[in-house]
Amino acid sequence: MKRSWYASPYALWMLLFAVVPLLFVCWYAFTTPEGAFTLTNFQEFAKPRYAAVILRSLKHALYCTVLCLVIGYPTAYFLAGRGFNHTQSLVVLILLPMWMNLLLRTYAMMTLLDDNGVLNAALQAIGLPKVKVIGTEGAVVMGLVYNYLPFMVLPIYTVLKKMDYSVIEAAEDLGCNPLRVVTRVVIPMSLPGIVSGITMVFMPAVTSFAISTLLSNGKLRLAGDLIDYIFNQSSNPNRWNIGSSFSLMMLVLILISIGFLRKVDPDNEGGGLW
């Protein structure tokens, strides 16, 4: 058997559950429920709420990505460092939450951060005032960061780990102070990892759903929640068509963003999925 055949189960899987559904989405987006070609589904988006939802999704995904980078880069740098022996166990710790279902993790966060949850009980026990977390914008950003942080740490860690350490030694020998080593050598060399991390965090964050509804008590809904609503709860007879056209628009938005990011990392050194 030829080697290329080994991937055929996967190819078949992708064909059935990625390519075919995508074709369905395209089909529905440009047809009426009766199956005739139309562009009217896209007219729906003249309503102001769609622009508002997209902007809100982009904003929160951006917050999430920046925070993930700020938290994730130092973490990855620390993990990839030479003098550290427990790397494996820490990497496992970072991966550990990903073994659990996203919804379960979000419900756990709700229990921890509720007005009368574990966090507030602890604060009260040591005489501090309660903090309101669940139901705020901050809770949504926090939930997104919590869920997507590993996707930032891992690609950066991979790139830093592969980096030739003698380059850093050379920089030091040539008189670079530690800060300049990081800014002039380490960061530029890990750029592919950063790009990959940003892609892997921003994309799912911008289309995420359920996390936002749950952690904001239903007050802050993102594009994913809107698509979910259109498909599952709307009573509009065109709901599949409108939902599909909105999904398609989000997909185009994501493809454009990936296009931009690829310009920064043309050789795909970040080892990312894209």
- Where does this chain bind another protein (CB under 8 A)? 49, 52-53, 114-116, 132, 135, 216-219, 221, 225-226, 229, 233-236
SS3 assignment, position 53: helix
Please report how close the Cβ of residue 12 comes to another protein at its closest, in angstroms: 28
Question: In this structure, are residues 144 and 211 in contact, taking their beta carbons and an 8 Å threshold?
Answer: yes
Angle at 38 between CA 35 and CA 41, to 5 degrees: 100
Please report how close the Cβ of residue 108 comes to another protein at its closest, in angstroms: 14
Nearest to 27 by CA among 250, 240, 256, 231: 240
Please report how close the Cβ of residue 56 comes to another protein at its closest, in angstroms: 9
How many helices (DSSP H) and strands (DSSP E) are in the chain? 14, 0
Nearest to 204 by CA among 152, 265, 260: 152
**Shorter beta-carbon distance to another protein: residue 15 or 51:** 51
Give the Cα separation of 59 and 67 in Å (integer): 12
Please report how close the Cβ of residue 37 comes to another protein at its closest, in angstroms: 22
Question: In this structure, are residues 139 and 133 in contact, taking their beta carbons and an 8 Å threshold?
Answer: yes
Please report how close the Cβ of residue 109 comes to another protein at its closest, in angstroms: 14
**Shorter beta-carbon distance to another protein: residue 81 or 237:** 237
Please report how close the Cβ of residue 238 comes to another protein at its closest, in angstroms: 9
**Shorter beta-carbon distance to another protein: residue 196 or 247:** 247
Give the helix/strand (H/E) hosting 9.
helix 8-14
Give the Cα separation of 161 and 90 in Å (integer): 14
**Shorter beta-carbon distance to another protein: residue 79 or 230:** 230
**Shorter beta-carbon distance to another protein: residue 216 or 244:** 216
**Shorter beta-carbon distance to another protein: residue 158 or 238:** 238
Please report how close the Cβ of residue 228 comes to another protein at its closest, in angstroms: 11
**Shorter beta-carbon distance to another protein: residue 12 or 52:** 52
Give the helix/strand (H/E) hosting 166.
helix 165-173
> What are the residues whose beta carbons fall under 8 Å from the beta carbon of 71, sequence distance 6 or more?
145, 149, 152
